[in-house]
Amino acid sequence: MGGCVVSTPKEIIRTLWSEPGDMRVGPVARVALLAPVDKDYSYTVPDELAGQVEPGRRVVVPFGRRGRRVPAFCVSVADEQWTSTLRPVAEVLDDQRLLSDSLLELGRWMARYYCCPLGRTLAAMVPAAIRVQSGFRTVRTCRLARTGEEAAKGVRLSAQRRAVIDCLTAHPEGLTIEALLEATGAGRAVVTALAKAGVVEIRTHREPAPAPDFDRPGTEPAFQLNRTQRTAVERIVAMAAERRFRAVLLFGVSGSGKTEVYVHAIRAVLAVGRQAILLVPEIALTTQIVERLTSRFRDVAVIHSGLTGTQRSLTWAAIARGEKRVVIGTRSAIFAPCPDLGLIVVDEEQEGSYKNLQAPRFHTRDVAIKRAQLAGVPVVLGSATPSLETWHNCDRYRHFERISLPARISGLPMPTVEFVDLRMAQGERKGVHLLSERMEQAIRRTLEAGQQAVLLLNRRGYANYLMCSRCRHPVLCPRCQVNMVFHQTTGMAVCHYCQSKMPVPTKCEDSSCGGKLIRWGMGTQRVEEELRVKFPEARIARADSDTMLRSEHYEDMIRALAERRTDILVGTQMVAKGLDFPAVAFVGVVNADTSLAIPDFRASERTFQLITQVAGRAGRAEAGGHVVVQSLAGVSPVLSFAIRHDYEGFARHELGIRRQLGWPPFSRLARVVISHTSRDRARAEANALARGITSFLAEHKLAGQVLGPQAAPLAQLRNCYRYELLIQAADASRLLETLETLRHNKVLKPSGQQVMVDVDPVSLQ
Ligand code: ADP
Ligand code: ZN
């Protein structure tokens, strides 16, 4: 440093401090702060912490000019040259690594891909409770400091003290404090006093605590796998044995035996001493599938939201020690610290609940694929209605493959599906009926046969439609010909397809009629009321987010259905998923219009999945499952594919449309939401951002475009105005490149309060 020209005061100070002799070589740790900052920082490792500062442990470091102490994840340690300008790590928080090298690597990928600061990403991978106590318990053992009589010399001995000394004399190996107190009946103060006097020695050490037991061994089914199942298992096991990364879509209708394939593939992996992770969607956790799966394994861990912090952290530690070998759980289970992972299974891979709704906004399925790639293991994606992304990937990428299970195991046919056009049906009877006569008859027959019915309506409460009281002609969107929805707050009629609005007409639009318009509602609550009038004897239950406030409610609902205390269950999508009850013979879809789904390019896909899923609930045990699908918008192509159980036809059709319009999977999206307490500021910032990104894309000759900005669907949230825009890029690497450069140039502050970035959004709501 001696000869260099010094210009700024800051550099002068730095030069004064770092004399040439100050240059040293030693361990330097790079850390990612848990605060929302977008880079990592270097600190030296002081001698007394050498060996304790390692990647994947948390440390405390001085930060900023004042040297405020802040927590951070250590991400690497290496010998480097440093000068005394570098400050030392102040403290190490964890007594063992919370993240292995491969999980750190996964975290780095997530931070980059999902535009989230690394420290925050790593923190999200480790449940909060584990960060407090890493699966250890503190044990205090007592023994005599000196031997026998000598110990007692010079100490006044009460009866209790005497008893403690005698007990410890009999146990020279030492006793835990609890055992000692129990054996002698002495108080804690007695032991403390003896320790003070130097008679008793208390040692504190930490030892692994046992994790909760999730094993519920059940009886093994008697059947053999059929030929297609066997082939599927062999294929997956071969990949696992070769330690080869592949993504396998296991495509089969419900009841085709996918679960049995998971179980056998996982067992093969366990047999060679490795571990497996099985992911299930949120809704499934309290349902039968988890129970069924858990009963098939030993050393199983179930990660769910009902675990207490301590249970979670003990479970995590037991997984890390390799004691729990099968991990079953929702999103966060993908970060389970399995030491030698052999297989990952993602059941119902198309489920939207796999997307994390807070930063890092990761998609669990995609993280699973990445983890499998880093670990060199296969990942199995199971579904009857795969996401179009996955379906398309099987045609596009060499490391994807499709295995089909073509039929229901039982040889039972798929349920018959019948279509009712509500527009026609409305005219046939007096009054407003949400249930057509066909639907009513089917329910009646089901009840008479002593069986159960499930009704689905993807809308809770009441939703309002308009129609003529005289000729029953509905108020339709002039552009889309679907029912307009009456919005109480604005008094406008709105089309949920194209979002066009109009003032509510005063009279029937058919000029030859001119009748008065009436409102009628459609929602789960309204259906329940109609059912109670039409089937006064039936035991009716309703399941939607208004009635299912806690998971116990959901469990009760399931139990009532299982024990046949419910005859008719009506509900939103939560009745469509994961239920398997033999006595459910009839399923009704009250309204299958895609306009009832979200205003989103995935509306058709969602509708197809939902109808297929709910139809799969009918006739699981006996032949003759029956489904009635009603619609207010006629038979759309989506409905006709759903009615024929034709996923492949649907996928071809829908992918054709997506390709034409350039939506995923033919492009990648990132959604950017700007919020501000001032509406004008929010709009102005969104406009500026959109312009900035557009010119950036042009400048860098990146194929892509900005859609919007527009007011977000939830335009006003917690007193903030929200504007959103979509960045659309040709593929993932171009989207990543775009986002990274924007982030680097501080165009996007991914961590800021005002800007939210969601890469690969699953819902544009
Ligand atoms: P999916 O996961 O595709 O819905 P499951 O694996 O749950 O299908 O299988 C459906 C039903 O068929 C279950 O009751 C299961 O026990 C049974 N099953 C699965 N495989 C066989 C088989 N090879 N022989 C007989 N029954 C089977
Ligand atoms: Zn319209």
Q: Are 303 and 211 in contact (CB under 8 A)?
A: no
Q: Are residues 533 and 629 in the same domain?
A: yes
CA 409 – ligand 1 centroid, Å:
6
Q: Is residue 12 part of a domain?
A: no
Q: Are residues 560 and 650 in the same domain?
A: yes
C-alpha distances in Å from residue 175, one per residue of 157, 562, 658, 695: 20, 51, 70, 73
Q: Are residues 651 and 559 in the same domain?
A: yes
The residue among 584 and 749 whose pLDDT is bigger is 584
Out of 3-7, 412-416, 662-666, least confident range? 3-7
Q: Are 183 and 205 in contact (CB under 8 A)?
A: no
Q: How far apart are CA 344 and CA 312, in angstroms?
A: 20
The CATH number linked to 34 is 3.40.1440.60
233 alpha carbon, closest ligand: 1
Token pair 């992770």 is found at 277
- Per-residue pLDDT tens for 313-349? 889 888 988 999 999 999 999 999 999 999 999 999 9
| Residue span of the structural domain in which 679 resides | 668-759
- pLDDT, average across residues 179-193: 86
**Which ligand 1 atom lies nearest to the CA of residue 256?**
3
C-alpha distances in Å from residue 746, one per residue of 10, 417, 508, 734, 741: 25, 54, 55, 18, 8
Q: From start to end of 564-703, where are the E strands?
A: 568-571, 584-589, 626-631, 668-676
Last residue of a domain, one of 591, 626, 659: 659
Out of 123-127, 559-563, 675-679, least confident range? 675-679
Q: Is the CB of 223 under 6 A from ligand 1?
A: yes
Q: Is residue 5 part of a domain?
A: no
- Per-residue pLDDT tens for 21-31? 567 788 999 99
The CATH number linked to 162 is 1.10.10
Q: How far apart are CA 498 and CA 493, in angstroms?
A: 12
Q: Against a cut of 0.85, is the pTM above it?
A: no
Please state, as a whole number, how many other Cβ atoms lie within 10 Å of the Cβ of residue 132. 12
| pLDDT the model gives residue 750 | 44
The CATH number linked to 715 is 3.30.70.100
Residue 10 has pLDDT above 60, yes or no: no
Q: Which residues contact 688 (CB under 8 A, 6 or more apart)?
A: none
| pLDDT the model gives residue 541 | 93
CA 228 – ligand 1 centroid, Å:
12
Q: Are residues 605 and 531 in the same domain?
A: yes
Q: How far apart are CA 28 and CA 17, in angstroms?
A: 19
Residue 752 has pLDDT above 50, yes or no: no
**Which ligand 1 atom lies nearest to the CA of residue 409?**
12
Residue 464 has pLDDT above 60, yes or no: yes
Band (291; pLDDT cuts 50, 70, 90): confident
252 alpha carbon, closest ligand: 1
- Per-residue pLDDT tens for 210-229? 777 877 777 888 899 999 99
Q: Are residues 420 and 535 in the same domain?
A: yes
Residue 751 has pLDDT above 70, yes or no: no
Q: Are residues 235 and 340 in the same domain?
A: yes
C-alpha distances in Å from residue 74, one per residue of 53, 339, 718: 7, 20, 35
Q: Are residues 511 and 536 in the same domain?
A: no
Q: Are residues 388 and 421 in the same domain?
A: no
Q: Is residue 265 part of a domain?
A: yes
Share of the chain above pLDDT 90, in %: 34
CA 474 – ligand 2 centroid, Å:
14
Residue 188 has pLDDT above 90, yes or no: no
Q: Is residue 109 part of a domain?
A: yes
Q: How far apart are CA 336 and CA 276, in angstroms?
A: 10
Q: Is the CB of 221 under 6 A from ligand 1?
A: yes
Q: From start to end of 469-567, where are the E strands?
A: 485-487, 492-494, 501-503, 517-521, 540-543
Q: Is residue 217 part of a domain?
A: no
| pLDDT the model gives residue 615 | 80
| pLDDT the model gives residue 364 | 97
Q: Is the CB of 252 under 6 A from ligand 1?
A: yes
Out of 241-255, 440-454, 494-508, 634-648, least confident range? 494-508
Q: How far apart are CA 112 and CA 102, in angstroms?
A: 16
Q: Are residues 71 and 61 in the same domain?
A: yes
The CATH number linked to 319 is 3.40.50.300
Q: Is residue 15 part of a domain?
A: no
Last residue of a domain, one of 482, 499, 522: 522
Q: Is residue 221 part of a domain?
A: no
Q: Is residue 450 part of a domain?
A: yes
Q: Is the CB of 260 under 6 A from ligand 1?
A: yes
- pLDDT, average across residues 639-663: 92
Q: How far apart are CA 362 and CA 602, in angstroms?
A: 18
Our CA dihedral for 756, 758, 761, 765, rounded to 10 degrees, sits at 0
| pLDDT the model gives residue 8 | 53
Ligand 2 (single-atom ion) residues, CB below 5 Å: 477, 479-480, 495, 497-498
CA 614 – ligand 1 centroid, Å:
18
DSSP state, residue 516: B
Q: Are residues 548 and 619 in the same domain?
A: yes
Share of the chain above pLDDT 70, in %: 86
| pLDDT the model gives residue 599 | 55
- pLDDT, average across residues 50-79: 91
Q: Is the CB of 631 under 6 A from ligand 1?
A: no
Q: Are residues 436 and 481 in the same domain?
A: no
CA 614 – ligand 2 centroid, Å:
27
Buried b (16+ CB within 10 A) or exposed e, 397-419: eeebebbebebbbeebebbebeb
Q: Are residues 275 and 330 in the same domain?
A: yes
CA 575 – ligand 1 centroid, Å:
21
Q: How far apart are CA 76 and CA 80, in angstroms?
A: 12
Domains in the chain: how many in total?
6
